Structure 1
Amino acid sequence: MQTNGNHNQLLRLSKEQQLEPAAVFTCFFECYHLKDLRELLWDWLLTALGTDNSTYSKGRERSNLIFLYEQLELLTEAAYLIHQQKLPSKNKRKKKK
């Protein structure tokens, strides 16, 4: 892993996104549905582990990748819940029916 002195610093979020991070969820989940994300993450994991890739040639690296996959899936689902909670109550009423 490359270390460049940017530990725990925000590198991608614009100033506006930093002020309203929930808007990032809205944009993200407008582009991807949970089903799509699961499929993409799984395909990524299979590609990394199923090819002759020296980066993941050792068991520890493969194990770390699987752990990352599981954590990203948890993070994605948590972000999705936060996103759903931010939706107007009109959408929430539709789901209860």
Structure 2
Amino acid sequence: MARRRVHVYVSGRVQGVYYRATTRDTARDHGVDGWVTNLDDGRVEAVFEGDPDAVESMVEFCHEGSSRADVVDVDVTEEDPEGIEGFEVRW
């Protein structure tokens, strides 16, 4: 099965609104591997890897995020898959 990997930066009101936890739960529901973390500049950074359709679903999710988030921009960069497994919130 082909895998797709994307590196995502999300800006807006995305910290302190359960964005990371909701991203983790959504990724696990879609069977997507990777990680999500807060950045010091107020953005959220994430990597999604897995089935291309499932990864695309995660990119779409990032445009809305958690119910309390207010997403302004989502920057997506394609990368070569690394074969990571599982999904985690990084601190």
Q: In which range does the TM-score fall when normalised by the shorter chain?
A: under 0.3
TM-score (norm 2): 0.28
Larger RCO of the pair (alpha carbons < 8 Å, separation 6+): 2
Which structure has the highest strand share of the two?
A: 2
Larger Rg: 1
Which structure has the highest helix share of the two?
A: 1
TM-score (norm 1): 0.26
